[in-house]
C-alpha cells in the first residue's frame, strides 16, 4: 500500500493517544493524533480519515462539543471513547452525531471491527497474531513476549502494580510497555503538580482534571488501587463543581479533602519512584546481558488450519522469490513454533535477509518434512 488510510485519535493525554496510535499503526494504517477538539476540527477539514476516536474530557471544548461542530461540515465516522459505552456520556455523544461509543481504551476486537467496517479490503493488514488476540471476548488476553518474565522479576518490587494488566494494554510487548511507563512517569509528575496547585487554590476544576487524567494513566500501566483512588477523588471534585450552593456559600468545604489529597500525592510519589527504580534496573539488565529468548512455548500459537494456510502462503512466496512475503510468513511461523523448530525458523529468516533462497528452501522443507 502506498497511501495509507488514516485514523484520527483525539485525546489530550499523550500516553493514551500514543498507545492508540501505535495500535492503529499495527494494522498498516496511519494513526494521527489531535490533542484538542479545536485541532481535531482543523485536521478533519484538511484530511480524509477512515474514522475518528474521540475522547470526552479535553481542553477548550469537550469531545461532545467537538463532535457537534464536526457534524456541521463532515460525515466522517466518529466513535466516542468512554468508560461506559452505554452510559450518559455515550448518549450525549450519540445525540451530538457520533456513530457509537467504544470502551476506553479501545479493545483490539473493537478496533478490528471498526477497521473492517470503514477501511476497504486490501487497505489494511491484520497479522495472524493480532487476529488471534483480537478475535473476540474469549481472546482478549495478550500472549506476552519472551522478555515478560524478566520484566516481571524487576517490576514485582513496585507495590500495587498489576504487571499483567499493563502488559496486556501494551499488546503483550515489553518494549511497548517500557514506552508506556516512561511516558506515564512524565505525565504523572505533571498531574501531581496540578494537584499541588489545587491544595493552594481549592479550585475543584483542577482537582477533577488532574484526578481524571491520573485515573486513566494509572489504569494504562496497571496501578489498580491508584486507579480506584483517582476515580473517587474525581467524584469528589465533580460533586463540588455540580453543587453551586456549597461551592459559593461554604468555600472552606474543600478543606475536608485536603488531607486526603495530600496523602494521595505522597502515596503516588512513592509508587512512581519505585516504578522508576524498577524500570532502570530492568533496562540495565538488558544492556548487560541482552534480551532473553524463551523457546519453551509459542509466542502466538496457530491452529492447524491457520498453520497450513501460513505454510502454503510462505512456500508459494519462496517459489516466487518474493522476499517480503517470505519474511512475513517466516515471522508468523517463528512465533508459532517452540524449541528447535523456532531456532530453525530464525536461521531461515537470517538466510532470507541475506537473499540465500537455497538455504531458506532447505530449512523450510526440513521444518515440515515430518508432517508429510
Question: Are residues 278 and 241 part of one domain?
Answer: yes
Please report whether residue 34 resides in a domain: yes
At 338, the pLDDT band (50, 70, 90 cuts) reads confident
Considering only residues 364 and 14, tell me which one the structure prediction assigns the higher pLDDT. Answer: 364
Question: Are residues 251 and 157 part of one domain?
Answer: yes
The domain boundary residue, chosen from 289, 323, 346 = 289
Predicted pLDDT at 141: 43
Question: Are residues 119 and 47 part of one domain?
Answer: yes
Q: The CATH number of the domain where 174 resides is what?
A: 1.20.120
Predicted pLDDT at 242: 66
Lowest mean pLDDT among 20-34, 288-302, 356-370: 288-302
Please report whether residue 1 resides in a domain: no
Please report whether residue 342 resides in a domain: yes
Q: The CATH number of the domain where 51 resides is what?
A: 3.40.50.2300
Tell me the pLDDT tens digit for each residue of 292-333. 555 667 778 888 888 888 899 899 988 888 887 888 888 888
Please report whether residue 135 resides in a domain: yes
Question: Are residues 100 and 154 part of one domain?
Answer: no
The domain boundary residue, chosen from 289, 322, 345 = 289
pLDDT over 60 (residue 115): yes
> Which DSSP category does 295 fall into?
-
Instruction: Work out how many domains the chain is built from and give that number.
Output: 3
Please report whether residue 298 resides in a domain: no
DSSP code per residue over 124-184 = ----HHHHHHHSSGGG-S----TTHHHHHHHHTTSTTB-HHHHHHHTTT-HHHHHHHHHHH
pLDDT over 60 (residue 132): no
Please report whether residue 256 resides in a domain: yes
Give the closest residue to 81 by CA, choosing from 17, 177, 175, 124: 17
CB within 8 Å of 38: residues ≥ 6 apart: 60, 61, 66
Q: Name the most confidently modeled range: 61-65, 141-145, 279-283, 301-305.
A: 61-65
Task: Record the pTM.
Answer: 0.56
Q: Name the most confidently modeled range: 29-38, 127-136, 238-247, 336-345.
A: 29-38
Q: What is the spatial distance between Cα 103 and Cα 86, in angstroms, rounded to a whole number?
A: 9
Tell me the pLDDT tens digit for each residue of 145-204. 556 777 888 888 888 898 888 877 776 667 778 888 888 888 888 888 888 888 888 788
Question: Are residues 176 and 89 part of one domain?
Answer: no
Question: Are residues 31 and 12 part of one domain?
Answer: yes
User: Residue 64 belongs to what domain range?
Assistant: 6-139
Question: Are residues 219 and 237 part of one domain?
Answer: yes
| Mean pLDDT on 54-74 | 93
Considering only residues 150 and 345, tell me which one the structure prediction assigns the higher pLDDT. Answer: 345
Predicted pLDDT at 107: 78
Question: Are residues 152 and 203 part of one domain?
Answer: yes
The domain boundary residue, chosen from 265, 289, 313 = 289
Predicted pLDDT at 54: 96
Q: Taking a C-beta distance cutoff of 8 angstroms, is the pair 19, 104 a contact? A: no
Predicted pLDDT at 344: 85
pLDDT over 60 (residue 63): yes
Please report whether residue 297 resides in a domain: no
Question: Are residues 313 and 266 part of one domain?
Answer: no
Please report whether residue 160 resides in a domain: yes
Question: Are residues 263 and 174 part of one domain?
Answer: yes
β-bridge partners, 10: 34, 54
Q: What is the spatial distance between Cα 172 and Cα 170, in angstroms, rounded to a whole number?
A: 6
Considering only residues 34 and 302, tell me which one the structure prediction assigns the higher pLDDT. Answer: 34
Question: Are residues 237 and 258 part of one domain?
Answer: yes
Question: Are residues 273 and 310 part of one domain?
Answer: no
Amino acid at each position: 500500500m502506498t497511501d495509507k488510510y488514516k485514523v484520527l485519535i483525539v485525546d489530550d493525554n499523550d500516553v493514551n493517544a500514543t498507545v492508540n496510535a501505535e495500535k492503529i499503526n499495527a494494522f498498516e494504517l496511519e494513526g494521527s493524533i489531535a490533542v484538542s477538539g479545536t485541532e481535531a476540527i482543523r485536521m478533519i477539514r484538511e484530511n480524509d480519515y477512515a474514522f475518528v476516536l474521540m475522547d470526552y474530557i479535553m481542553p477548550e471544548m469537550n469531545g461532545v462539543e467537538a463532535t457537534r461542530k464536526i457534524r456541521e461540515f463532515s460525515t466522517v465516522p466518529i466513535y466516542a471513547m468512554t468508560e461506559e459505552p452505554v452510559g450518559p456520556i455515550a448518549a450525549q455523544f450519540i445525540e451530538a452525531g457520533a456513530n457509537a461509543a467504544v470502551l476506553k481504551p479501545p479493545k483490539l476486537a473493537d478496533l478490528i471491527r471498526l477497521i473492517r467496517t470503514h477501511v476497504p479490503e486490501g487497505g489494511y493488514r491484520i497479522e495472524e497474531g493480532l487476529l488471534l488476540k483480537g478475535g473476540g471476548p474469549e481472546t482478549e488476553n495478550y500472549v506476552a513476549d519472551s522478555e515478560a518474565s524478566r520484566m516481571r522479576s524487576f517490576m514485582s518490587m513496585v507495590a500495587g502494580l498489576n504487571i499483567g494488566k499493563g502488559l496486556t494494554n501494551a499488546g503483550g510487548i515489553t518494549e511497548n510497555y517500557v514506552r508506556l511507563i516512561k511516558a506515564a512517569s512524565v505525565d504523572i509528575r505533571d498531574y501531581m503538580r496540578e494537584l499541588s496547585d489545587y491544595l493552594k487554590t481549592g479550585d475543584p476544576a483542577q482537582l477533577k482534571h488532574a484526578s481524571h487524567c491520573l485515573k486513566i494513566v494509572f489504569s494504562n500501566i496497571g496501578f489498580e488501587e491508584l486507579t480506584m483512588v483517582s476515580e473517587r477523588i474525581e467524584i469528589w471534585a465533580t460533586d463540588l463543581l455540580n453543587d453551586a450552593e456549597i461551592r459559593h456559600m461554604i468555600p472552606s468545604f474543600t478543606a475536608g479533602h485536603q488531607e486526603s489529597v495530600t496523602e494521595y500525592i505522597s502515596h503516588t510519589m512513592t509508587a512512581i519512584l519505585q516504578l522508576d527504580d524498577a524500570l532502570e534496573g530492568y533496562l540495565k539488565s538488558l544492556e548487560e546481558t541482552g534480551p532473553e529468548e524463551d523457546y519453551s512455548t509459542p509466542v502466538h500459537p496457530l491452529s492447524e488450519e491457520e498453520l497450513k494456510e501460513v505454510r502454503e502462503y510462505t512456500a508459494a512466496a519462496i517459489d516466487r522469490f518474493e522476499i517480503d512475503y517470505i519474511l512475513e510468513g517466516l515471522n508468523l511461523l517463528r512465533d508459532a513454533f517452540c524449541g528447535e523448530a523456532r531456532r530453525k525458523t530464525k536461521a531461515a529468516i537470517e538466510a532470507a535477509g541475506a537473499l540465500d533462497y537455497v538455504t531458506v528452501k532447505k530449512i523450510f522443507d526440513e521444518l515440515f518434512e515430518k508432517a508429510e
